[in-house]
Chains A and B, each alone.
Chain A
Amino acid sequence: MKHLASYMLYIAARLGLAAITVFGVASLVFFGMRLIPGTYADLFFPLATEAERAEINAQYGLDAPVFVQYVKWIGAMLQGDFGTSIVTRGPVIDEVVARLPLTLELASLALIMIAFVGFPLGVVSGMFHGSAVSQTGRHASTLLMSIPNFVLGTVFLYLFSVYSLGLKAGGWSPMSDGLLENLRHALLPSFTLSITGLGLVLATARSSVLGVMGQDHILAAVSRGLEPRAIFTRHIFRNSLIPVVTIFAIVAGYLLGGTVLVETVFSLDGVGRLLVNSIIRRDYPVVQTGVILTAAFFVLMNTIADILYGFIDPRVADRQDG
């Protein structure tokens, strides 16, 4: 009971911290965007007079002092109003939410590949230290982390568009048109997105397993005559998981950032590409909303990782409790 209470307190503290972080990101992006020279009117109404450009700015509330704009925006956002796109004049939340599923699917598939390919390979590579398998794992992780994803994406674009290899390089097909067709479109960009994370998780899992295997309690378990399978599941796997979970949370955040490049290379209409275009066009409301939702997702992933620490290793939550 005492442990449950400390665990709940731990979760509450993490959620509070997450809310503060998202608020901080919101403020940063709001003021950051306004520090970049040039407004929508400067960019797209070059032939307008200064008075006309001022009128266009006023139309979007950009004539008010920045702090007043900020307070109004925060107030509206707290009531669920994320504003209107300056470019399309549609509700910003619709623009972002319409593109979220694609971006989330890409990131989810990439995470799945990392979890089910990178992690097991890392564990195996760590378990068989000194063997060819281990060496291969080490070199593979370095190689994967070294390839920029836009380079791999461009190579895929060429290979898969010129030769009919089954997968589609570019464009999108929703799940509603069939899972197989969806996967034909999603696999290449997802894999491209995953490679850095694959390498990172492989390397982390490998070194984590190696570290745990060198500890005294493993030697003691072997001395006690425990089955290798039991040693792995009870001692090695669980203890080597915490650094991997940490890396997973970081990789999840990186994946959302990585979609910017991957969506551009593969011409996919996701949140990443929307954000880049909106920054270029100074469409402040879209950038602000897109960044906040992305940041919220990233913070959520980190919070989940924090909560999982407490779950995997109860001592973490107990320490938080004091």
Chain B
Amino acid sequence: MENKNNGLDRRSFMKAAAALGLTASSMGLRSIAMAADGGTFTFGRPWETVHLDPHASQLSSSWNIQHMVFDSLVTLDEEFNVVPSLASAFEWQGNNLVFTLREGVKFANGREMTSDDVVKSMDRALKSKGNPWGLMMRNKKSITADGNKVTFEFDGPNNVALYSLAATLVCIMPMKEMEDGSYDGAGDKYMGTGPYMVSEHIANDRWVLKRNPHYWGGPAKTETVVVRTIPSTQGLIAALNDGSIDGAMFIGDPDAPALLAGAANISVATQKSTDFNYIGMNCVADDSPFKDLRVRQAVALAVDRDKIINFALAGNAEKTYGWTQWGFTDDSKLKFREPDLEKAKALMAEAKPARTTVKYLVRAGGVHEAVAQVMSQALAEIGITCELETVDGGVWAKRVWGTNPSEMDITSSAYSGFPHPLITAHWWAPELSGFTKGYVPVNEEYTAALNAAVTKATGDEVNASLQNLYEILNEQCVKIPINVNSETIAWRSDRVNMTPSARQSQNDVMAGVETWEMKA
């Protein structure tokens, strides 16, 4: 009786609750259903594009989508040779790098690309906060256009300019539309000259790309490409198995090939990447034992790359002694290559560091935790005890890059390797690239040699300078490269014809996507 007096009874409460639940459930639920036209290729990847503005995208995780939408003046082939893209030809004329723009290139809205778009895009890109390509082109005097020619004028040689231009960081954007406000250059409705344009983006969930009808390379074979963010390896494999996706990349998970082995209708390929893992030591903090060169060299001699690759990387990586990829330098001339525990112990005995317990800061996710585990065992062999601390990317960035001196003694991390090793060589020169100044000491000899290699060397001198830098860094042992990564690409062979490139740089994992074709 009292219930009725209150005007609320159990039955009416349940009815109201059920109605509320149904309303909430049907409100604006978004579909991840794929278009049923047979022309949709759905790809899964473990991360999301966070930097939306291509000219400001400093982390490689953001470049994957941008590669499909935007083009640069030049690009790379599988051997990492610079080849034409929006420029149909390029040549050095003295200290001037002259590009001939390809005829008939249009943005996805149908407007023809002009030399004005190129000059203004370059100006915007090189002025973007933190865009490192301004540093790479530090001896640039001007960029000018004359008809279909665009000329980069330098005050001497520049041995990284051409390679730097094969990146989305300097892609050509529709500057006219950006100036009149009809296109937001920092937004996510990407429209460039590439094979696809963005039709929808649901942050953290998916990008939907539609074929660019005006693509200069001819229409892409697949009408729609959906790129879904599926954070776990298990989720990616499940989606491949049940056909929710047609292909996937397993970045940063060396166990993926083993997990995919034997799966029906799934093809697996390994893609060599220029990305590499390294160990960094704090040589700036006064109380760091690694300020002593002998201790760092002892660490370098304790590193057993084979062990790291086999235990932490499931054997799916290739060891490296420097930051350069294949064919640029001669490893045999390096002093600190293979492990030599006796020599390492002798160096430690000579150095007698005041502190032998060190803080090993590890970035959570990827392979760094496993690498740190193996490394800490190697260091124990030479009397260094590691206190491992795993933190998220933000904390890691603040303590390693954002604090001077860095709040760590030693760390494991990775760099996105670039097609020319002189680009990455800058990350060892804190006067030029400030983000490492908290743990990398200024080395005037190295910086002068780097400047000379980039802006003075010609012909054979370039590789000789590179070898010189390589040997300096190997002897200084501030950052010790461990391995270059191999990434795993898998796809449903019963549903799609695709051939991933055997090698990629700058996270262009889906290079050639415009040629991938869904089976009937």
Contacts and interface: CB of A to CB of B under 8 A. Distances in A.
A154 interface: yes
Interface string A22-60: 000000000000001111001111111110110110000
B520 interface: no
A186 to B, nearest CB: 9
Interface in B155-187: 186-187
A139 B410 CA distance: 49
A273 to B, nearest CB: 6
Nearest to A181: B33
Nearest to B134: A47
B434 interface: yes
Interface in B236-252: 237-239, 241-242, 244
B58 A45 contact: yes
Given A89-B187, A105-B25, A177-B31, A157 B401 contact: no
Contact of A267 (B21, B24, B231): B231
Contact of A311 (B8, B24, B204, B235): B8
Given A50-B434, A171-B32, A267 B235 contact: yes
A228 to B, nearest CB: 22
B284 to A, nearest CB: 16
- Interface of B, secondary structure class, is loop
B258 interface: no
Interface in B185-206: 186-188, 202-206
Interface in B1-51: 2-3, 5-6, 8, 21, 24-33, 48, 50-51
B428 interface: no
B58 A38 contact: no
A168 B243 CA distance: 10
Interface residues of A, number: 65
A76 to B, nearest CB: 22
A108 B2 CA distance: 29
A160 interface: yes
A48 B29 contact: no
Given A52-B130, A170-B244, A102 B394 contact: no
Interface residues of B, number: 61
Contacts of A49: 130, 434
B130 A174 contact: no
A169 B242 contact: yes
A4 to B, nearest CB: 6
B129 interface: yes
Contacts of B232: 264-265, 267
Residue in B5, B33, B188, B204 with the greatest tally of chain A CB atoms within 10 Å: B204
6 contacts: A38-B395, A98-B30, A172-B29, A172-B32, A173-B32, A277-B48
Given A267-B239, A269-B205, 12 more contacts: A38-B396, A46-B59, A47-B132, A47-B433, A88-B52, A102-B29, A158-B234, A174-B31, A175-B25, A265-B234, A267-B229, A280-B393
The 7 closest A-B pairs by CB, nearest first: A48-B130, A38-B394, A174-B29, A161-B238, A38-B398, A269-B205, A161-B241
Interface of B: 2-3, 5-6, 8, 21, 24-33, 48, 50-52, 56, 58-59, 129-132, 186-188, 202-206, 228-232, 234-235, 237-239, 241-242, 244, 392-399, 401-402, 433-435
